[in-house]
A and B are shown apart, each in its own frame.
Chain A
Amino acid sequence: DQQVKQNSPSLSVQEGRISILNCDYTNSMFDYFLWYKKYPAEGPTFLISISSIKDKNEDGRFTVFLNKSAKHLSLHIVPSQPGDSAVYFCAASARTGNQFYFGTGTSLTVIP
């Protein structure tokens, strides 16, 4: 049973515009959420995280929003750049749990 879901396998955005990647989760015990970026033939690279005590975390062009009532989080990239083209994974964990649970990823293409 997939506890973290990324329902959009792919997304294309024009350079300079906003990219919005979405993630839904089912386990209400999750209290820490992360986004990873993955280029081909490389391991996932940590991008940004958010604790459940917050609803927004910002780091440069990247902002993560958390809506606990909807069990939904999103990653906003503004402005999008061609180098942002990669697969983005959402992950979640619970302090009382054992592991990070990952979504299936969204492939972002930023068109120059």
Chain B
Amino acid sequence: EAGVVQSPRYKIIEKKQPVAFWCNPISGHNTLYWYLQNLGQGPELLIRYENEEAVDDSQLPKDRFSAERLKGVDSTLKIQPAELGDSAVYLCASSQGGLNTEAFFGQGTRLTVV
């Protein structure tokens, strides 16, 4: 069974440019997470979906970040415009249901803003 797939793996953009990340969760997983990981830190939640509904986006900087999960499967995370401080690894994870089941992570997208 395929794991969580993310693309691209790496992205380098100039500041003020837009960027988008894509995530395909494990088949049958209703819960999808986007996490941000800075160097030397643990992952921090940006947004959590239950099916197509965003149930927690309190830590998503909504002035520049947006996310969607159409049809409750694939998800995209967008940043517009990107800032230098957005350089980090963006991780997508999925789980079968709820917070008392393990989440499985993709390989992440490493974003560098120059």
Chain A residues within CB distance 8 Å of chain B: 4, 31-32, 34, 36, 41-46, 49, 51, 89, 91, 93-95, 97-100, 102-105
Contact assessment for B42 and A32 in the assembled complex, using a CB-CB cutoff below 8 Å: no
A42 vs B110: C-alpha distance when bound (angstroms): 10
Contact assessment for A44 and B43 in the assembled complex, using a CB-CB cutoff below 8 Å: yes
Given known contacts A98-B56, A99-B33, A99-B56, is B99 in contact with A104 (CB within 8 Å)? no
Contact assessment for A95 and B103 in the assembled complex, using a CB-CB cutoff below 8 Å: no
A100 vs B37: C-alpha distance when bound (angstroms): 13
A49 vs B98: C-alpha distance when bound (angstroms): 14
**Which residues of the partner chain B approach A45 to less than 8 Å between Cβ atoms?**
105
Contact of B105 among A43, A93, A95 (CB under 8 A): A43
Contact assessment for A95 and B99 in the assembled complex, using a CB-CB cutoff below 8 Å: yes
A102 vs B40: C-alpha distance when bound (angstroms): 12
A109 vs B43: C-alpha distance when bound (angstroms): 21
**Which residues of the partner chain B approach A100 to less than 8 Å between Cβ atoms?**
33, 43, 45, 99, 103
**Which residues of the partner chain A approach B106 to less than 8 Å between Cβ atoms?**
43
Contact assessment for A49 and B102 in the assembled complex, using a CB-CB cutoff below 8 Å: yes
Output the nearest chain A residue to B3 by Cβ-Cβ distance.
A43
Contact assessment for B43 and A102 in the assembled complex, using a CB-CB cutoff below 8 Å: yes
Q: Taking each of B6, B43, B108, B110, which has the highest tally of chain A beta carbons within 10 Å of its own beta carbon?
A: B43
**Which residues of the partner chain B approach A32 to less than 8 Å between Cβ atoms?**
99-100
Contact assessment for B4 and A43 in the assembled complex, using a CB-CB cutoff below 8 Å: yes
**Which residues of the partner chain A approach B104 to less than 8 Å between Cβ atoms?**
46
A91 vs B104: C-alpha distance when bound (angstroms): 13
**Which residues of the partner chain A approach B102 to less than 8 Å between Cβ atoms?**
34, 46, 49
